[in-house]
Structure 1
Amino acid sequence: MKKRHALTMTLVTLIIGFMLAIQFETTRNPQKRDTRDIWQLQEDLAKEEKRHIELNNEFKETSQLLQKYKTEQGNQKIMAMKEALKELKEKAGVTEKTGQGVILHIRPMVDTSLIEESYYSVSAILLRRLINELNQYGASEIAVSGERIINTTPIRVVQKKLFVNDHMISDVPFNIHVLTPRPKDFAKRVDVSQSGEDLAREGLVITAEVKKLVKLPAYTPNIGLNYLHTVKEDS
């Protein structure tokens, strides 16, 4: 009986000791595991923060490159528009132009001191015919007595006065300025032109003077203001 009691106490003691050992180990190991997990989380968090910063930097660089590209594209478009506008103005004749060319002098054949200059005149039909010939000979730009010729230039006679672009042209003599890439050949063709013969029948002569630099004025439209009227303000 005593032996059984002693055996029972021994078993109980062993069980209690084993449980205490397990409890001690359980209490100690979680602290070690938790400490290791926190450090790992901190390290992972640091890596993520670093990656986040790198991504932000990449995003900023990409945004800057995109903005730079848009700006460059915008500047190119603006430059292209300005260039197109410049070409359009040149074609419309609203800008001054200079270059090599010829100055044509239209004057009476005889000494004007003996006859009044107003006796001689150039008709609108004859001037239009002359301008057409000059274009055929290679004229790139033309100005008649300071009036730039464009596609829509009106040429007419009003009360025996010649008007170009609705501006009255001075009586004979007057000059025609022409820009052309081959002024010498141009001058030779003018000397034997049909318009030259037509002018001769009117008692006029046309001569061509080759110039290295000829300046043409810009086209200045004559804007009528006759239709404007004052408007009384409401009292």
Structure 2
Amino acid sequence: MKKTVYIRFTIILLIVGFMLAVQYNTVQNPETRDTRDIWAIRQELSKETETHSELLSEVYMLDQTILKYGNKVSESAAFALEDTVVQLKEDIGLVDYTGPGLTIKVEPSLESIALGQPIEGISPDLLIRLINEINRFKAKDIEVDGKRIIYSSPIRDVNGKTTVNNIPVRNAPFTIRIGTSTYDEAQKMYNQLEASTIGDDFYIDNLKLKIGEPEQIIRISAYDQPVNNHFLKEVPEGES
């Protein structure tokens, strides 16, 4: 009789202990809920969709390059390689650009002119922010005051003067030219820049942005300085 009582008491204790353990785990690890509103979630989804689209475009371009090699290998592998080198030079900015885009003029603000304030040069931080904003809207090529921007272009303050590619940028007014992949992209960039708040930052520095209408043809000169290669080495002909 006592043995049966002990068994029942042990079973009851096991059940109670299991219930307490489950309750403790629930308190320690509450279920997290997404408290964002529907618009925030839709914006996040839109960004992810755009990123996915860009990745698919890059994959398509790589597939086309591989297909090009396969089609031309019987004709001339050297020709296919040369074609790829030309494309890479265009992507980097080592050749002149002619195509759709738009022009931005950086001018002194009307207030600074009316008050007779001295015209100051654009600061490196403000110029970098503008270029980042332009790149965010998918610019293909950029030229600042006649200086081509590439992946390694330094923008810094040298003796109180803003420089691009180690060449000083003139005080306002000066011009920024932007190349895009298509005319539609230029139109889209124009609308986005018009709606951007970047112009407010220029007013603080007594400058203003005058964004020109999209154009079918603009010209941007090639990068005209040596390109430093720290990791690539030329293989002598005949070696593999």
State whether residues 165 and 222 of structure 1, in contact with CA within 8 Å, keep that contact through their aligned partners in structure 2. Answer: no
Equivalent position of 2:158 in the other structure = 158
Query: How far is 1:112 from its partner?
Result: 4.3
Query: How far is 1:161 from its partner?
Result: 1.3
State which of 211, 215, 236 in structure 2 corresponds to 1:211: 215
Gaps of 5+ in 1: 1-71, 224-235
Query: How far is 1:162 from its partner?
Result: 1.3
Equivalent position of 1:149 in the other structure = 149
Once the two structures are superposed, the pairs formed by residues 212-231 of structure 1 within 5 Å of their partners are 212-221=216-225
1:137-173 deviation line (CA, Å, top 9, x unaligned): 1211111011111111100111221110111111111
Once the two structures are superposed, the pairs formed by residues 85-100 of structure 1 within 5 Å of their partners are 85-100=85-100
Q: Which residue identity lines up with residue 188 of structure 2 in the other structure?
A: D
Q: Which residue identity lines up with residue 221 of structure 2 in the other structure?
A: P
State whether residues 191 and 207 of structure 1, in contact with CA within 8 Å, keep that contact through their aligned partners in structure 2. Answer: no
Larger Rg: 1
State which of 197, 218, 223 in structure 1 corresponds to 2:200: 197
* Whole-angstrom distance in 2 between the partners of 1:100 and 1:159: 36
Secondary structure of the corresponding residue to residue 119 of structure 1 = coil
Tell me the C-alpha RMSD between the 2 structures: 2.2
State whether residues 167 and 222 of structure 1, in contact with CA within 8 Å, keep that contact through their aligned partners in structure 2. Answer: no
* Whole-angstrom distance in 1 between the partners of 2:208 and 2:190: 14
Equivalent position of 1:107 in the other structure = 107
Query: How far is 1:191 from its partner?
Result: 1.7
State whether residues 124 and 156 of structure 2, in contact with CA within 8 Å, keep that contact through their aligned partners in structure 1. Answer: yes
Judge which range, 157-166 or 105-114, deviates more.
105-114
Equivalent position of 1:78 in the other structure = 78
* Whole-angstrom distance in 2 between the partners of 1:73 and 1:100: 33
Identity of aligned residues (%): 28
* Whole-angstrom distance in 1 between the partners of 2:134 and 2:73: 43
In the superposition, relative to structure 1, how do residues 183 and 174 fare at CA in structure 2: closer, same or farther (>3 Å)? Answer: same
More helix per residue: 1
* Whole-angstrom distance in 2 between the partners of 1:216 and 1:154: 18
* Whole-angstrom distance in 2 between the partners of 1:162 and 1:136: 22
Matched, 1:132 2:132: yes
Gaps of 5+ in 2: 1-71, 228-240
1:48-98 deviation line (CA, Å, top 9, x unaligned): xxxxxxxxxxxxxxxxxxxxxxxx857521210110110121122110011
Equivalent position of 2:28 in the other structure = none
In the superposition, relative to structure 1, how do residues 74 and 194 fare at CA in structure 2: closer, same or farther (>3 Å)? Answer: same
* Whole-angstrom distance in 2 between the partners of 1:134 and 1:105: 14
Instruction: Give the TM-score normalised by the residue count of structure 2.
Output: 0.58
Q: Which residue identity lines up with residue 115 of structure 1 in the other structure?
A: G
State whether residues 126 and 195 of structure 1, in contact with CA within 8 Å, keep that contact through their aligned partners in structure 2. Answer: no
* Whole-angstrom distance in 2 between the partners of 1:156 and 1:195: 20
Secondary structure of the corresponding residue to residue 76 of structure 2 = helix
Q: Which residue identity lines up with residue 190 of structure 1 in the other structure?
A: L
* Whole-angstrom distance in 2 between the partners of 1:164 and 1:79: 35
* Whole-angstrom distance in 2 between the partners of 1:176 and 1:166: 17
Q: Which residue identity lines up with residue 95 of structure 2 in the other structure?
A: T
Query: How far is 1:115 from its partner?
Result: 3.3
